[in-house]
Chains A and B, each alone.
Chain A
Amino acid sequence: MTAALRLRDVTVSYDRHPAVHHISGEIARGSLTAVVGPNGAGKSTLLKALAGVVPRVEGSIERPDAAAGRIAYLPQLSDIDRTFPIAVIDVVLLGHWRRLGRFGGASPADRAQASRALDAVGLRGFEARPISTLSAGQFQRALFARLLLQDADIILLDEPFNAIDARTTADLLALVRRWHADARTVVCVLHDFEQVRASFPDAILLAREVVAWGPTADTLSSANLLRARAMAEAWDDDADACIAAAG
Chain B
Amino acid sequence: MIYDLLIAPFVEYGFMRRALVACVALALSGSTIGVFLILRRMSLMGDALAHALLPGAAIGFLLGGLSLPAMSAGGFVAGILVALLSGMVARFTSLREDASFAAAYLTALALGVLLVSLRGSSVDLMHLLFGSILAVDDASLLLVAGTTTITLIAMAAIYRPLVVECFNPGFLAALGERGALYHYAFLGLAVLNMVAAFQALGTLMALGLVLLPAIAASFWARDVERMMLVSAPIALLSAWIGLLVSYHGGLPSGPSIVLSASAFYVGSLLFGSHDSVRRKLARAPHLRG
Interface positions of A (Cβ within 8 A of B): 15, 48, 51-53, 67-69, 71-73, 75, 79-81, 84-87, 94, 97-98, 102-103, 130, 132
- State whether A68 touches B168 (Cβ < 8 A): no
Closest to A101 in B: B160
- State whether A67 touches B176 (Cβ < 8 A): yes
Mask: chain B, 249-284; 1 = CB below 8 Å from A; 0 = not: 000000000000000000000000000000000000
Report B155-182 residues with CB < 8 Å from chain A CB: 157-158, 160-161, 163-164, 166-176
- State whether B167 touches A53 (Cβ < 8 A): no
- State whether B175 touches A69 (Cβ < 8 A): yes
Given A102-B160, A102-B161, A130-B222, A84 and B166 touching (CB < 8 A)?
A: yes
Given A52-B176, A102-B160, A103-B160, A87 and B223 touching (CB < 8 A)?
A: yes
- State whether B170 touches A53 (Cβ < 8 A): yes
> Is residue B150 contacting chain A, with contact meaning CB distance below 8 A?
no
Task: Give Cα A122–Cα B163 distance, bound, in whole angstroms.
Answer: 26
- State whether B170 touches A75 (Cβ < 8 A): yes
> Is residue B227 contacting chain A, with contact meaning CB distance below 8 A?
yes
- State whether A94 touches B173 (Cβ < 8 A): no
- State whether A84 touches B174 (Cβ < 8 A): no
Given A75-B168, A79-B169, A84-B39, A52 and B161 touching (CB < 8 A)?
A: no
Task: Give Cα A98–Cα B176 distance, bound, in whole angstroms.
Answer: 10
How near does chain A come to B260, taking the closest CB pair, in angstroms?
25
Given A87-B223, A103-B160, A81 and B176 touching (CB < 8 A)?
A: no
> Is residue B224 contacting chain A, with contact meaning CB distance below 8 A?
yes
Task: Give Cα A52–Cα B175 distance, bound, in whole angstroms.
Answer: 9
How near does chain B come to A35, taking the closest CB pair, in angstroms?
17
- State whether A69 touches B176 (Cβ < 8 A): yes
Given A75-B168, A80-B167, A103-B160, A85 and B176 touching (CB < 8 A)?
A: no
Q: Which residues of B are found within 8 Å of A48, using beta-carbon distances?
A: 170
A-B residue pairs in contact (CB < 8 Å), sample of 17: A15-B94, A52-B176, A68-B176, A69-B175, A69-B176, A73-B171, A75-B170, A79-B169, A79-B170, A81-B166, A81-B167, A86-B163, A86-B167, A97-B164, A97-B175, A102-B161, A103-B160
